[in-house]
Each structure stands twice: as C-alpha cells, then as structure tokens.
Structure 1
Amino acid sequence: MNHPLRDAILNGLYDPRYPGHELLGPKILKNDRDNKIWLTLRQELLTCQTFTWAVAFVTLDMLVPFKLVMADLAVKNISGTLITGDYLAFNNPKVFYELKKIPNLQVRIANKAGFHAKGYLFQHDTYQTLIIGSANFTRAALLSNYEWALKISSKGNASLTQQISAQLKDLAEDSLPLSSAWLAKYEADWRPIQESNSWSQGSLKKIIPNQMQAAALQELNGLVAKGEKRGLVVSATGTGKTYLGAFAVQNFHPRKFLYVVHREQIAKKALASFYRVLAGDRANYGLLTGNKHQLERQYIFATVQTLSQPDILAQLAREEFDYILIDEAHRAAAKSYQKVLAYFRPQFCLGMTATPERMDDQDVYKIFDYNLAYEIRLRDALEEKMLVPFHYVGVQDYEEDGIRIEETSKLRYLLAEKRVDYVLQELDYYGYCGDLPRGLVFCSRQEEARELAKIFTQKKHPAVALTNQDNELKRNTAISELEAGKIEYLITVDLFNEGIDIPSLNQIVMLRNTQSSIVFVQQLGRGLRKFPGKNYVTVIDFIGNYKNNYLIPLALNQDASRDQDRARRETTLPTFIGLSTINFNTIASEKILRSLEKVKLDSLKELRKSYQELKEKLGRPPLLFDFAQYGSTSPSVFADNHSLNNYGIFLIKMGENLALSEYENQVLTFLTKELLNGKRVHELLLLQRLLKSSRLSQTEFELALKKQGAYVNSAVLTAVEDILSLRFFDIKQGKTSKKAQYGGQALVEKVNLLDYQLTSTLTQALKSNSSFQILFQDVIKTGLSLSKNYNQREQFTLYQQYDRKDVCRLLNWPKDVSAPMYGYRVGQNETPIFITYQKDALKKRSALYQNTLEDGRSLRWYTRTPRHLSSNEVQSLLNTPQMKIHLFVKKSDAIGKRFFYLGPAMIQKDSVREELLGPKKKAAVGMNLLLKQPLTVSMYQLLFNEEV
C-alpha cells in the first residue's frame, strides 16, 4: 500500500531510501536566489483548507502579496487565523489596521508575556503541515534574510500534531480578538522604534558616488581619455542620474558648463543638485530659461526652448562650453536639440536618459556616436537597493452588470459608479506605505482623468486631474498639495511618464491598457525614488480584456527575450527583483495567459524591431552573440522561428549585404536548429577547437571536455560523430531527409580513427566566404554561451525544457526517432516518457490516458494501446535491470513542444496493472512513476497547481 506521507517522513527523518516528497517531506527552508520562504508559505496557503499562524512580528511590506493570496482564497471560502501581539512594540499600529481589511482572516492578540513565536500551521485534507523556525512574517525574513525554518507534515492523530494543536489551543484561549478598542489603546501608547536612516531629505551630508555611479564615471573618463567627443549613459529613474552627471562634470573641470533639458522645473532642480556636488560660489550657477538669461555664469542650466532661439545662440560662441550635458537625451532627436548640438563645439557632450528606446524610430545612440558608456537599468538598480522596492499586484478590472473593460470601452463604463467603487475598494485593500495615500493614477483618456478626479473627490478621496493641457503652475500646485497631504491622488494620462519628481509617492495605479513596455516602466519608475519613512511602493494594476496584456509581465521583469515559455512562467509564478515582488491574482493571470496565446513574440515583425533597436545601440548589424550579451531577444528564439532557417537568412531579410551559397545556408541551418541551444556542449566545443587548429586528437578533445566540466564516455563520443557527420539525421521525413536539408555532407571527419578534422568542403567554404565564416563562428560562440545554462556533467538538466528530438540526441541514440516516438520509447537501458499533464477531455486521443498526479510525488502513466502485461515492450520496461526512466512533463499542448525534465523516475511495482481505457475499452498498462528528485515548490506550482 502506498503511504506517501509516511514515506516522506521516513525519507527525511530516518532513511533516504524511502521515496521523498517535496510537498510532504521534512525540509529546511531558506532564502537564496532560487528559493524564498514566502514561496512555500504561499503554496501551502493555496492548497490548504484552513490555517493558523502564531507570529510575533508582522510588517506592512509583506502584507501586499499576502492580501492578494487571501483574496484568491476568499473566492474559495477559505479562511485562517493569525495570532500576533505587541511584544517590544515592534508591530506598527497600521499593520493591525491593514490586517482588519482581510475579511477571511481572524486576527487575535496574544496575552502571553514575551510572545515571540514564529510558527505557521496549515490544515490539509488528510494531514497538517507546520513551518517553524526563525522567520517572522516580514519581507526581509521571508525574502532575503539568512533564516532557517523547518517544514514538516504529519497526520492529525500524530503526536507532533497533537502537541502543536494543544499549544495553539492554549495560545488561542489566552488571546483576544483584535478589536477597535484594543487597537486604539495600542496606537495611543505606541512609539516607533528608532531606526537609523542615512538618507534624509535636504541632508547636507557630502554626496559621494555609489558603486554603480563610480563604475559609470570610470567608463566616461575612459571615453574622454580616448578623445571621444560624445557619450551616453542610461540610468533608471531614481538612481541618481543628475548626481552622476555632476560627478562627471566635477572630474572634467570645465571652464564653462551647459546643462540642457526640456523643462524649467527640471533645470532648477538640477542646478541645486549640481551645487551640492560642485559647491563653490553660488553666484557661478545660473539659469537660461524664459525669464532668466544668466549667460555669464560658469554653470548654466538651460531649457532647450530658450537656448535654441536664434538671438540666444547669437550671444554664445560655438566654443563657449567645454562640457555640455543633455538630460532626458532620448529627446535629442528633436529639432530644437539638433539645432543646439549642431551649433556648439564642446570638448565633450554627455547624454543621459532612463529610456533610450524610442517609439518614433529616432536613433538616440547614433546621436551620441554609439558610445554607450554605462547602463543602470531598473532591475539592476532595484537589486542594488538604489530604489525603493515595489509590491506589484495585478488584479482583474471590474466585470459585472454588462461592464467588461477593454480597449474600446465607452467612457460611461469606465466611469460607472460600481467600477469606481470597486477601484477605490481595491486601493484601500492593498494599501500604501505611510500615514496617507499619495497616489498617481494613470488612465486612458483626458476626459476620463478629469471625471475620475471629480468622482474620487466626491467619494472622500480628494484628487486632481492633470493633463498636458494644464500649465506648469497648476501642475506644481497639484504636486505640492499631494506632498502636503491635502489631496490623495493625481490622475493623469501620460503626463508623468518622465521628468516629474515626486519622491513621496506611495501608490501607483494603472487604470489603462499597457500599450508599451517602455511607457509601463517609465510610469512604474515614478514611485521608486527613496523618501524618508517610505519602505516600499504599492503598484495596483487593473487588468481588463486587453490584447496587449502580455506586455505586463515582460515589462515588470525587464524581459526582452521574446521567449514565450519564459513569459508564461513570469505570469504563472510570483517573481522577485531584489525585495520587490510581482504577483497576479488568478483571474488576472488567466487574462494575461490568454493574451499571450494570441500573440507571436517571435514574429518577423517583432524580431525586426528587436534587431533595429540593437543595431542602433551598437552602430552595426548585431550578431546572435550580441543579442545574448545585451540581454535582448534570446538567440534561441531565432532558432525556433519556423520562417527562418538561420540568422544569415534573417540578416538578408533585414537588407544587409551578404551572400550565402545553398551549401553554406544548409550548414548554418544545421548549426542553428540543432546546436545553438547549447543543451550539449560537446559538438560546439569540437567545432570551436577545429576552427583554431586543423586537427584535434580524440585525447585532446576528451581533455577539453573535462576542462569544460562536461561528461565524457564512449557513447557520447560516438554520438558526437553521428551528429557532425549528419548520420543521426539520415531519416526520411516526407520527400527528403533532414540530412539532405542540412547539406548532406559531414562537417567533421575522423582521420586514422584517431584525429578529428573539418571536411574539405566546409574548410573551403569558410576560407572563401568571410560572411559565412563570421556567422559560423557566431553560432558556435553563442551556443557555448547558452550551454552555461545547462549542467554539462549530466545528459539532462533538472527543470530545463527539452523536445523529443533533443532527448534522442542527448540519449546518444544513433538516429533521430523523435517523429514516431509520441509519448515514450523503450530503449535498451533508458526510456524517455513524455507526459502532457492537462488534457482537453474528449478532444484528443491522449485524453483517454488521464495522467494524474496521484499524491504529489507520483504520476499515473499509461502505455499506448493496445498493450498488455505480456507485451514485449512492457516486459522490457518492467524487467530490464537498471532501466533508467527519464520523465518529461508539460502542462498542456498549448505551450508548445518542449517538456520540463523532472528527473529520473521509478516504477512503483505494486501499482502496475492492465486496464481497459476509453469507450472502445482498449487495453493499456498503467503504473505510477515516482520521482527520485522531489519537485521544487515553483515547479509544482507551474505544472500541477489547478489554480494556475
């Protein structure tokens, strides 16, 4: 009889020969790059029937993602209890106010003296799970701190369970429900714990470069030393871009300096920041704006509108300034900026921007001579703690009473009272950091902004609408009122995408369709500046039925890969950037996944756009390796594109001047389609070494593989020869074979059975066509780079994705038999099994098999029909000594042809039986496959959670 809980406990506490279980087995939880204690807590919440937590300390910054999960649980009528307290007055009173907003959470206040417990108990259908250790319910403890927590499951009648239940019962009896009276008294008596805060507004402490600014300055100094005249720095909003510019000017020591921007407000703030760094006589700093023309000053801060006027330029010599800084440099293609840049002849001109990518096809990089000195992107800045973390929640927009928010929704639906009430309810539920909301709301239309501001105000949430029709005085007044707490929200369309600095913002609200990843990041960045007492910003995104929903996870994760599988994972699972969290509720996630299914991220149109962007950045046609190096489109996306055989074809489509013979095209297609993915390094390494020397002995090749950390045996060496000779592909498919499609000739041959060398045909092609040689080398270099994503010591890497053809190659089989393989193929000593977990019942033959995750660790699997226990195939599978079963699983056919490798599996012998399947009662043999390597929480959620 199979007892997964018993086996899991015995595996963890007694003998590892018992089958383990990721969800049930004892486990030490910790925080690192791949694991977060919060992920386990979240998984337990999503699958439990109820829960009881006893946690001394709770912080506001962890409540936003918790509330999102609790909202999903409320839909399923699942509730829980949190016992906390007032020990050391750690818990901010606002924590209790926020906890009271969660309708399916009972909060109790412990009366135990010195209450300092940290335990999380979850009640499941037939067992309980306890997590106990050092981790309080704080963001630092659950996401980043070095913490230990023991997770253990047990039956309800077990001794441990009874002990815990008794403790919790005693604790609950000696506690009180959280009441308004208790909270009022606690708030009156509470005094905040004094925290050291090295950053404070208006501080006169000397400003010095941070680590990333110092690196940028070093690159800028290098450009100046080389005699370059222009350079560009990309620096995310809030990362100290203005100070970085001041440091650069300080290093240069200009005789006279000019700063150029498009708004007077920005120019004034920049002047103040530069003065803090450069110091000296305040009279040396001047403005060149509509009202002030202080042209004699050493450091001039100008608006481009004033500077570009002919009468102003006439008063300034072309060599007037040694150093010019163009802020918001993505605007530098405009006529006014071009006029300024064409007129002056500085020794150096620096451009600075947070978003160099333009939507008007202007080449910003070209303007600055393709000298990209340094990039500080949003993800880097968050991970380096240069910005305030954000907690993003994607929730569904209002849908009821015939209202369904989409691109063409009429204004009356957007402004419907029930929708506005719903929006305000969600804003209140997810909250903000601080005593008062200071929110920035982005909506779709100017009329909508004005009407929403009126309705918000009527509903006692004072708001002001700002559009590009409002003058600067009104904008400044509204911002001052928000900062002073006189209003709660500024409601706008796209006015605040850039250039406006409101550090105290603690809520960003998205009430519009995401049309552009660039704009999304600009708007998100408005709330990320540091401010005293601000520990995080809440970002609430109301996701309607928009076709562009797929852009949201890409923008949040700074994902430019155009990899559809990666985008699905970013939508399905919570992700993290430093201490920032990204979470979608169930319905919002489903909307994004539906949007993702309808778009081709790797369409030729999208790839062309990506190509042009990178070409602008580099000032030359990019190669595949450039895409990998600059974090742009994943090179694998080019390989997977069915309309492109190889990157050379793509370059020709892009209008680049190169010619390839039919043979050269075929060779590049082979390299691209079969080796570029880097899933096995062996073939790539051999080709790389043979490009450097005409011959390579087998011994030298084996040493090179070992040095690379790759496994070596006779089977893989034979397989490498089969691949590079194209024998592996000598399987007829339709009118021709893959071997013929790949040129029909070997790339590598063996000499004297000992040495490898490139064939003469390939050698001649590489010598005679430099374009072919460059592209050949590029694929190999890129493939070797991608190979680092895989464990080359093994045939397969746990939780990486493989298709059937990959598996045939990596199992060292002599031929590609992936086409007729379907669900499995029993080999001599290795058997790959491919399972599609979710079936569209009644639609496909495979639905008959009803593969199920029986108990969280074993998959019920069936052979094809008709098969019997006596069938040779079944007997070979069951009785071959040391038969190794490799298990590959994907959630549905909709996600493509690749499966996640879940590791080796064992057949549970007592589960094997012959069964009659389907309406025609055909015989098949069913069995449970037990994973040798327990699933991680993330992989379990990705593949097997019904909610996602």
Structure 2
Amino acid sequence: MRRFVDDLAISISSWQAYERMVARLLVAEGFDYVALVGRSGDGGADVLAHRRGKRWLFQVKRWTTPAGSEVLDRTIAAAATYGAQVPVIVSKSGFTRGLIVQRDRLAAEGMNVQLWDREVLVSRGQKLPIEPLSRRAPERFEPRRYQEDATDAIVQASMSRKPGSALVVLATGLGKTWVAAETVRRLCSAEPSWRVLVVAHTNDLVYQLERAFWPFLRIDQTTAVINGFERPKWTDLDHYSIVFASRDSLVPAMDSGISLPDFDMVIVDECHHLGSNRYESMLDYLAAGRVGGPFLLGLTATPWRPGGEGLDHRFDAPVVNKDLVEGLRSGFLANVDYRMYMDNVDWRGLQRLRGDRFTPRAINRTLFIDQWDDAVIERTREAWAELQQRGRGIVFCGTVEHAERVSARINALGFASARPIYSRASDGVSMGPIDRAKLLLDFADGRVQILCAVDVLNEGVDVPDVNLLVFQRVTHSRRIFVQQLGRGLRLAPGKERVLVLDFVSDVRRFAAGLELQQSLEAPGPRSDRSTRVSLPSRVSFRRADAEDIEGASFLRHWLGELQEVEEAGEDVSVLRFPPIDLLSDAARNRG
C-alpha cells in the first residue's frame, strides 16, 4: 500500500515537498503547532513543532550526499536561536561518520540531537494508522450541523456521476475548508481511486489549503503542490491523489498542451475570483461542472465577484450560505464585545464646517484629533485586566514605527509581553525570517502575549485563543477588516469572548460599526447550545470608557444610509451637513 511517506514519495519529492512530508508526518503523529519555516535566511530551521510542552526544531536535508558535521553545528545553533529543546536532523541520504561521532560526543555531554534518515522516516510512516487524524481524534474536528448538511448534499451530488457543481458560502471562521476536506475524505473513502484538484489564486493559499486537508487524508493519500515556488514533473502527477495548484501555474501548462490527469473533482477556493479570463479558460479546459468533466465545488465567503456580478454562470444556489452576523448570532463564532471609541472626536469641529455635502476626507480632517496613543494604551491595559491577563492579543498598527512605539509602551507598563511584527518597514528593512518565525512560535506558546502587527496577520495565524483585538489602522477593504476580525473569532476551550477595541479615526468605520450593531440587534436565531457562555455579541460606542449612547444616536441619525457611507471613497460627497439640533446637543454634552 502506498503511503504519503515511503520510498517512492521520498525519491520523487522536491526539497520543498520533502519538508512538507516531514511536517505532515508530525501532524499525523499528533504534534502541535507544526510550522514550515524553511526558506533563505531561516537560520537552520525548516520545521518547528510542539510536543508535550517541548519545542522541536527540524533541519531537513534532501541532499544526494550524507549530511556532515557542519549541518550538526548549524542545527545546534538554530536550536539555541529558536529556543528549541529537541533538535532533529532529517537527511534523505543519511549522515557521515564524522557527524555521528560528534553527535555521540554531544550526547555524552547532555546535549541530544536526533537523527532521522530515510529508514527512520519510512518506519515512522509505517506505524501510522491508516485512518486520518480527523477520524482518530473526532473531538478536535467536530462538525456543525450546517457543515454536515452541506457535506452530505455535495457528496450525494458528486456520487451521482452526473455533471454538476456546488457552491459553499461561509464567512471567515465558519469552516468552509472543513466542508471541502470532509467531502474529499468521504468521497475517497467510497471511491479510493478518486483524484481531486484544488485550485487557489495565490501561492500561499495553495500551501494553506494543503495543510488544512492533511488531517482529513488517509496515509495512503498523497498530495502535490504546483505553484510559483515549486512544480513537480507533470508526468509524476499520476502518483498523487490530490493536487493543490495555483491558477497562474496551471493555465500556462494547459495553454502549452501539457496533459493533466483525469480529475473527478475540482475545488476552487475563493471562487468569487471566477470571471477572470484565466479562471474561465482553466475551468473550460477541465470541463469542470460540465458533461463528461469533473464535479465543480466552489468555496467563498461572499457570493459576489469583485465587480458585483454573481456566480450563477457556474453554480446554482449555495448548498450553505452563512455570513458573519449569522455566525455570531448562532454561536458558531466567539462572542464579540466590540467597542468603538470616540474619545478623540471633536464635535465642535463639525460646527465649523461650511457647505452642504462633504467627503469622508473632509469630515475626518475636521472631526478627529490625531494623537491619542496614551488613551489607547490605557484602554488596552484595562481590557487585558478585564480578560484576567489570559489569552493573546493583536494590535493592528499603521506603521512599523507606530507598532514599535505601542509595543514599547505596553512593555514599559508591564501588563503584558508585546512585540512588533511586520513584513517591511518604510526604510525598506524587512523583518528577517528567523525573527518572524520565532516570534510567531513565541506567540503560539504564550511567551509573547501581544503582537503589534503592520500589514501581516490578516490571515493564517493558527492561534485560536486570541481574545483581544485592537484596531489602530484604518482599512477601507471590508475583506481585510473581516480577515483581521477573524483572528479572534475562533472558538477555544475556556474562551468566553473576543474583546475588540476600535480606535480607528474614520467616519466610515463608524458607519460599519453601526451597521454591525443593527444586524446583531435585529430579530433572528440565537444559540441554544449549553456549552457556550451566555454573553451575546454586541457593538457599543464609548467615550471615557463609558458607553456613549447619545453619541451613537447622533451618528446613526447623521450617517443615514450606512452601507453607502461605509463603502464611499475618500473624495466622494456622500455626507450632508449634520442635523443642527443633534449636533448642538452632541457638542454641548461632549465638547
């Protein structure tokens, strides 16, 4: 029986696939927080993981020659850098005699380094149960009713062998990838020969999807990745059960006449990107959803394409459709205590406006006082105390300098350990892969409690007990805002809620908050699950850390058509002069 880690898989793997093979093995063995960090400048770490309270570091070498003493030296140095207690060297071609002698000498001195060669990998793979992790530890992958219903419908439609498609519309955190992965598990269990193609529009998303599928796959189901970073031989694709590919890697291959395996199902993640010429030509080439072609499954958080068009040219009505508000109100996401702060609102400034209609830029320039970092830090400190100093927090900042300043103030006050994290500073300096990987690992195990993030962490942070989010950076992308909010929406044992502090100085953000408030307060289904603490999600507007009902009422009357204001551009005149009587009351009471 084939296994995802066996002699054939090792022989045909690229160095990237070899590292992912090791990572998947660790996931199957029950390691926690398995992270692939191998890249240029990784400092000697390719895979990091936790197990039984210890941090493991893996240096993975797919060389044609044995690993020598220099690899051992780098691994020991990397273990010190990353704070790992268990260093491991994985080598396809074994180890030199010199490395083994040096390893034994270090062991006698109390420093143990594990050596995994090809035989060790194959042996560990052979010891794995055939069933996927999701079946061996079902409590970790317990489905919700809507996920079960959607999966049942897709499986039934797929097994009919008739041309067809299905659309899954689930907001961030509601588990659309679970539906896809469980669907594949059931289909491949019934039809072991099934082949599946999973397509995404970015390289990183391809890797995330493969990782998300691992717990649902039997050990005899092998996977391959085709994207901008790696590409197996096209002729080797016949050896794989599931292929994860980027759109932009597949289309040129199809255009050049390369023959692909016959897939039984094509899954398109973030399928609201359909409609582009590349996506449409790819699906036409595969005949996905057509007579004689594979079943087409689309996953998205929104059923609308960027231009506002629907997806009905490829799909019928969704088999499941739940937005963020429904997920919150039904108890499938963490309860949200969303606090929008108005301490820096200059109500009297509005009285100085002249004219009839105004743009968001003009209003923001008049309405908000720029600097109030001290108040932000104080509110954050109070919130951390309210959460009993447990969990994790993320502060979304606008610049690297701002993130460094905020983290320094938090550390100076001493109520939590905070660090800045970013991709690139304004002077062009990037955070190195070593610092970034170690920081995320420290965040996962609680050594760092609050991250001050700049243009990172919008997605892909697998830390379910994030229970404090602080917004200090405005974003006019609803997608990015929901992704950022989604960092705190995952349920976790003992997590009662996520506390959100919003200090964004933009009238459009107020409109978004009011719209969310109205949606949560509208009649509709509520959670009846006894396992949840009864703390309903809510949005409040606050001043001096007390609820400002009058201020919220003024904004609601003034902003009127909330969605129009929320989606307005900087220089689009959508706001009329505020009602003078309400404005006078607001200025008198708060000015």
Say whether residues 1:583 and 2:522 are aligned partners. Answer: no
Say whether residues 1:210 and 2:144 are aligned partners. Answer: yes
Q: 1:589 Cα shift?
A: 4.2
The TM-score, its normalising length taken from structure 1, stands at: 0.36
DSSP 3-state at the match of 1:465: strand
Q: 1:477 to 1:519 in 2, by over 3 A?
A: same
Quick one: which of 269, 277, 292 aligns to 1:327? 269
Q: 1:462 Cα shift?
A: 2.2
Show CA shifts across 1:118-152 (max 9, x none). xxxxxxxxxxxxxxxxxxxxxxxxxxxxxxxxxxx
Q: 1:492 to 1:595 in 2, by over 3 A?
A: farther
Q: Which residue of 1 aligns with 2:252?
A: 310
Q: Is the 8 A contact 2:304 2:311 kept in 1?
A: no
Quick one: which of 595, 598, 621 aligns to 2:558? 598
Say whether residues 1:463 and 2:409 are aligned partners. Answer: no
Say whether residues 1:491 and 2:452 are aligned partners. Answer: yes
Distance 1:367 1:499 in 2: 30
Q: What code does the residue aligned with 2:516 have?
A: A
Quick one: which of 250, 269, 286 aligns to 1:344? 286
Q: 1:541 to 1:602 in 2, by over 3 A?
A: closer
Q: Which residue of 2 aligns with 1:393?
A: 339
DSSP 3-state at the match of 1:365: coil
Q: 1:512 Cα shift?
A: 3.8
Q: Which residue of 1 aligns with 2:315?
A: 369
List alignment gaps of at least 5 residues for structure 2. 1-132, 289-293, 351-359, 524-532, 569-579
Distance 2:172 2:391 in 1: 21
Q: 1:476 Cα shift?
A: 4.6
Q: Which residue of 2 aligns with 1:255?
A: 194
Q: Which residue of 1 aligns with 2:443?
A: 482
Q: 1:234 Cα shift?
A: 1.0
Alignment of 1:796-811 (within 5 A): none
Pair member with larger Rg: 1
Alignment of 1:520-559 (within 5 A): 520-542=481-503, 544=505, 546-556=507-517, 558=519
Distance 2:330 2:225 in 1: 34
Q: Which residue of 2 aligns with 1:25?
A: none
Q: 1:336 Cα shift?
A: 5.1
Q: What code does the residue aligned with 2:270 have?
A: E
DSSP 3-state at the match of 1:550: helix
Show CA shifts across 1:482-523 (max 9, x none). 223343333345544445443231211122446465544332
Distance 1:340 1:475 in 2: 36
Distance 1:214 1:307 in 2: 33
Distance 1:497 1:538 in 2: 17
Q: Which residue of 2 aligns with 1:237?
A: 172
Distance 1:413 1:214 in 2: 50
Say whether residues 1:442 and 2:396 are aligned partners. Answer: yes
Q: 1:535 to 1:297 in 2, by over 3 A?
A: farther
List alignment gaps of at least 5 residues for structure 1. 1-200, 567-575, 610-838, 844-891, 895-945
Q: Is the 8 A contact 2:508 2:566 kept in 1?
A: no
Q: Which residue of 2 aligns with 1:427?
A: 380
Q: Which residue of 2 aligns with 1:295?
A: 237
DSSP 3-state at the match of 1:428: helix
Distance 1:349 1:521 in 2: 27
Say whether residues 1:286 and 2:243 are aligned partners. Answer: no
Number of residue pairs aligned between Structure 1 and Structure 2: 396
The TM-score, its normalising length taken from structure 2, stands at: 0.55
Q: What code does the residue aligned with 1:583 have?
A: S
Distance 1:457 1:541 in 2: 21
Distance 1:311 1:518 in 2: 31
Show CA shifts across 1:813-843 (max 9, x none). xxxxxxxxxxxxxxxxxxxxxxxxxx979x9
Distance 1:313 1:375 in 2: 35
Q: 1:383 Cα shift?
A: 4.2
Distance 2:556 2:409 in 1: 34
Q: What code does the residue aligned with 1:349 have?
A: L
Q: 1:592 to 1:413 in 2, by over 3 A?
A: closer
Q: 1:408 to 1:467 in 2, by over 3 A?
A: farther
Say whether residues 1:503 and 2:464 are aligned partners. Answer: yes
Q: 1:463 to 1:602 in 2, by over 3 A?
A: closer
Q: Is the 8 A contact 1:521 1:555 kept in 2?
A: no
Q: 1:208 to 1:332 in 2, by over 3 A?
A: same
Distance 2:211 2:500 in 1: 30
Distance 2:364 2:466 in 1: 30
Q: Is the 8 A contact 2:395 2:469 kept in 1?
A: yes
Q: 1:381 to 1:475 in 2, by over 3 A?
A: farther
Q: State the identity as a percent.
A: 23
Q: What code does the residue aligned with 2:174 have?
A: T
Q: Is the 8 A contact 1:388 1:535 kept in 2?
A: yes
Q: 1:385 to 1:597 in 2, by over 3 A?
A: closer
Show CA shifts across 1:633-681 (max 9, x none). xxxxxxxxxxxxxxxxxxxxxxxxxxxxxxxxxxxxxxxxxxxxxxxxx
Q: Is the 8 A contact 2:248 2:278 kept in 1?
A: no
Of structures 1 and 2, the one with the larger relative CO (CA 8 A, separation 6+) is 2
Show CA shifts across 1:259-305 (max 9, x none). 123455544453344343342415x2233341352633433353416
Q: Which residue of 1 aligns with 2:26?
A: none
Q: 1:597 to 1:448 in 2, by over 3 A?
A: farther
Q: 1:273 to 1:548 in 2, by over 3 A?
A: closer
